[in-house]
Amino acid sequence: MTLAGRTALVTGASRRAGIGFAIAERLRAAGAAVFTQGWTPHDAAQPWGADPELEPDLEADFAERDAPARVVAAAHDALGPLDVLVVNHARSGSGRLDELTADHIDAFLHENVRASLLLVREFAAQFEGENGRVILFTSGAHLSPMTGELAYAVSKGALAIATLTLAEELADRGITVNCVHPGPTDTGYGLADVDPAPRMPFGRWGEPDDAARLVAWLCSDDARWLTGQVIDSEGGFRRWVGSS
């Protein structure tokens, strides 16, 4: 599998322990030129913290309306016309129904939904090739409840729903659109402290490179016949074990 000659934009690639960084590394290893976006202030505010040893090509806050256009333009200026867009970024955070406020909901919708759709729009507008790829990321809200993460679950679930429509809109342009659900993945937020044995039949949690390998394949010519799909790549996760 080769991605030689391809150009890619990967969002949410500001932590070495994260999925975005693993994707960027996989795409580069396959021969692609890669431009990365990150927003370290968001990471710094989370329990896992920011990664001081890693700087994305561009810091951009997707809460800002014009950020998607600026990010795609910067990637285009650096690499030329883009062939691949990997929308990996996400606003993370908890919140049950009785804790929701309008501002809380808007923050998730703006960064996870609005920015993602605008990124796809800007990518499509500059696309000049014949074999484009868009990869979105969702959570597991389409498979089971995500109690305590309501706004996050809804915002990421929207991308799973959008995948089929985006795929139809862009099919005549030669652009495939697929969505990856990576399942429980150890990206440094504490999952490593939980015993995976009861829920993971292969005896471990997901690793960022598990998702990265799938994304690299979806970006390749080997996946040219696949579009409009939500792919649940979660290692056989037994989500109902231990629930009541």
Catalytic residues: 152
Using alpha carbons only, how large is the chain's radius of gyration in Å? 17
74 near 91, Cβ under 8 Å?
no
Cβ burial 122-153 (10 Å sphere, 16+ → b, else e):
bbbeebebeebbbbbbbbbbbbeebeebbbbb
Phi, psi at 177, each rounded to 5° = -130, 120
Query: Residue with structure tokens 């985006």?
Result: 166
